[in-house]
Chains A and B, each alone.
Chain A
Amino acid sequence: MIQRFANPNRFMRLSAAVVPWMAGATVILGAAGLYLGLFQAPADYQQGESVRIMYVHVPAAWMALFCYTSMAAASATALIWKHPLADLAARSTAPIGICFTFLALITGSLWGKPMWGTWWVWDARLTSVLVLFFLYLGYMALVNAFDDPARGAKAAAVLALVGFVNVPIIKFSVDWWNSLHQPASVLKLGGPSIHPSMLAPLLLMALAFTTYYFWVLLVRLRAEILSTKIRAVRLRQVHG
C-alpha cells in the first residue's frame, strides 16, 4: 500500500485528483460547522456566548496533536523504511502543525480572559502546549539548518521522535495535575459528556480542519516534489 505511493509520478497524478475534493470538503464542512456553532448551538448557561470560541479552539488543539503525531509517524517511517515521501510529509506537516498550535494558544487565551479572568496561566496543559509550539519551532529550524537537505530531514526526524514524549503529557496533563483547564469531554471513556447540539458543530469543525490539513499537506508535498525535480536538473547541469 505504502510502496504504491513511493513513485512520485503516480503520487503527482493521484494528488492532483484529490486536492480539489479536499478543498471543497474543507469549505463545505467549515461553513456548516461555523453556521451551527455560531448561530444554531445554544449559548452555555455558565459561559454565555464566549463558549463559541470552543468550536475553533478545541479542533485546533486536536489538530496540533494530530499533526505532531503524524509528523512523528512519518519520521519513523522515513528513518526505518527510508520511504522517500515520508521525509517530505514530515517536513510539510510541521508548518501546518505549528499554525494549529498557535491558533489553539491564541483562541485559548481569548477564551481564558472572560472565563478565568486572565490571558494566561502557567498550568500543566497550557505549558505543555507551549512546549509543543517550541518543539515545532525547533523542528523547523533544524530541517533548514543544513546545506544538505537529506541530512536536515534525518536529523529533524530524530528530534520529532524524541519530542513525541510531550504528546501524551499534553493529552493527560489535565488528568494528572490539578488544572484550571477543563478535562476532556469528548474523547474519553464512557462516551462524550457534551450535548449533541454542541457536539455536532464541534465534530464538523474538526472534520473541516482535518480535510484542510490534508489539502494543504498535498499542495505542499506537490511543491516539494517539484522543487526536488528542479534541484535534480540543476545537479545534472553541474555534474554532467
Chain B
Amino acid sequence: MSRFLHIARRDVRLAFRQGIGGLMAVMFFVLAVVLFPFGVGPEVNMLARISAGVIWVAALLASMLSLEQLFQADFEDGSLELLALTPMPLEVVVLAKVTAHWLTTGLPLIAAAPLLAVLLHMNTEGFTVLIVALALGTPSLSLIGAVGAALILGSRRGGVLLSLLILPLFIPVLIFGVGAVDAALAGFTVRPQLFVLGAFFLAALSLCPWAAAAALRQALE
C-alpha cells in the first residue's frame, strides 16, 4: 500500500512540476465546450438542451488526450521497465498511475464542469447530478484508457490509434452519464443511470488493471 501511494505521489508531483502543461487537459476541456456556442449559436434554450451532452463529450476527449502520455514518458526513459522489475504486481503499478492520472485530470475536469454548465445555461437542477455522474464516470475513463495507453506503446502514430481503440469503449459511460443529467433536468429519478455508472466503474476496476498490465508486459518484451 505504501508503495502504491509512493508511485501515485510521484506521478502527481511530476504533473505539478510540469506547471501549466499539467493543466492542458482542463484547458482543452474548457475550450472545446466554449466552441459550441459559436457553432450552434448562442440561443439559450438550444444550449441548455445540449449542455449535458457537450460537457460529457468534451470531458471524454480531454481525458483521452491526456491518456496518451500515461505510460509513454516512462516507457521512453526506461522507468517503466524498472517499475515492472519492482517486487510488486504490475497491476498495482497500473492502478497507482491511473489514480494519479485521475487526480490530475479527472478531478480538475469535475471542478471545471459547473462553470461550463453555467456558460451553457444548464438548469441548476442538473448541477449536482452532473458532478456526481462525472465523479462516477471519469475514473472508468482513466481505467479503460490505461488499457489503450498500454497497448499503443511503441506503435506508430500512437495518439490517433489510441482514440480509435478507446473511444468505442467510452460510449457506454457517455450514454449513461448524459442520461443521468438529462433525467435530472426532466425531473425523473437518476438512480438507475448512476447505478449503471457505478457498475461500469467496478467492472473497469476489476478488469482494466489486469489487461493494462498484460499489455505493458508485452510492450517491455
Contacts and interface: CB of A to CB of B under 8 A. Distances in A.
B161 A162 contact: no
A131 B169 CA distance: 8
A138 B154 contact: no
For chain B, which range describes its interface: under 10, 10 to 19, 20 to 34, or 35 or more residues? 20 to 34
Contacts of B215: 155, 158
Contacts of B151: 142, 155, 158-159
B147 A146 contact: no
Residue from A127, A142, A163 with most neighbouring chain B CB atoms (10 Å): A142
Interface residues of A, number: 21
B165 A138 contact: yes
Contacts of B156: 145-147
B211 A158 contact: yes
B168 interface: yes
Contact of B211 (A137, A146, A162): A162
Given A131-B171, A155-B218, A161-B211, A146 B154 contact: yes
Nearest to B214: A158
Contacts of A154: 218
Nearest to A153: B218
B157 interface: yes
A151 interface: yes
Contacts of A145: 152, 155-158, 161
B212 to A, nearest CB: 9
Contacts of A135: 168
Interface string B121-153: 000000000000000000000000001000110
Nearest to B160: A141
B165 A159 contact: yes
Contact of B147 (A79, A134, A158): A158
Contacts of A131: 168, 171
Interface in A123-156: 127, 131, 134-135, 137-138, 141-142, 145-147, 151-152, 154-155
A142 B165 contact: yes
B154 A162 contact: no
A141 B164 contact: yes
Contacts of A163: 168-169
Interface of B: 147, 151-152, 154-158, 161, 164-165, 167-169, 171, 207, 211, 214-215, 218-219, 221
Closest 3 CB pairs of A and B: A145-B155, A134-B168, A138-B165
